Amino acid sequence: MATKSRKKEDLPRNTGFSAPMDFENMAEINYTALNAAGTLGQRWYETVSEINGEMIAFINKRLKEDITIPAALANCKTGEDLFEFTSAFVRTATNQYFEEAEKLAHIGSDFVGKATKVVEDEARDVHDIAAE
């Protein structure tokens, strides 16, 4: 069936509604949003990489200390020696785990700060584009 061409009189009249922005601005906003997503993704992968490196270094450090346990236990001659060694070992390990948790929390906090800045900057750009 052939389509009938419309005449100007057949087109809907202006209802007073206008688009808040043109397609060029919408495209620019989409570009800005995609740019923000890409930047956030990059920051995320950098942070994950940093966390992985920190965890590997920590595990390596702990394994080097843990591997000395059998020899240290073999050198304990009395119950008091065993108690002193065990106490020192647990105290040291606990402190190291807490220090590592603090480092990881700091890395995560840095990521949140950087991500917040990216989102704020891009939101400001979107607002400026939409206001044009």
Question: How high is the pLDDT of residue 130?
Answer: 74
Indicate the pTM of the whole model: 0.68
Residue predicted with more confidence, 58 or 39:
58
The per-residue pLDDT of the chain, averaged, comes to 85
> How many whole angstroms separate alpha carbon 100 and alpha carbon 61?
11
Residue predicted with more confidence, 52 or 6:
52
Q: What's the rounded mean pLDDT across residues 4-11?
A: 51
- Of 28-37, 49-58, 69-78, which gets the smallest average pLDDT? 28-37
Per-residue pLDDT reduced to its tens digit, 81-100 = 999 999 999 999 999 999 99
> How many whole angstroms separate alpha carbon 75 and alpha carbon 97?
26
Question: How high is the pLDDT of residue 1?
Answer: 47
Cα end-to-end distance, the chain, whole Å: 44
> How many whole angstroms separate alpha carbon 18 and alpha carbon 4?
27
> How many whole angstroms separate alpha carbon 25 and alpha carbon 16?
21
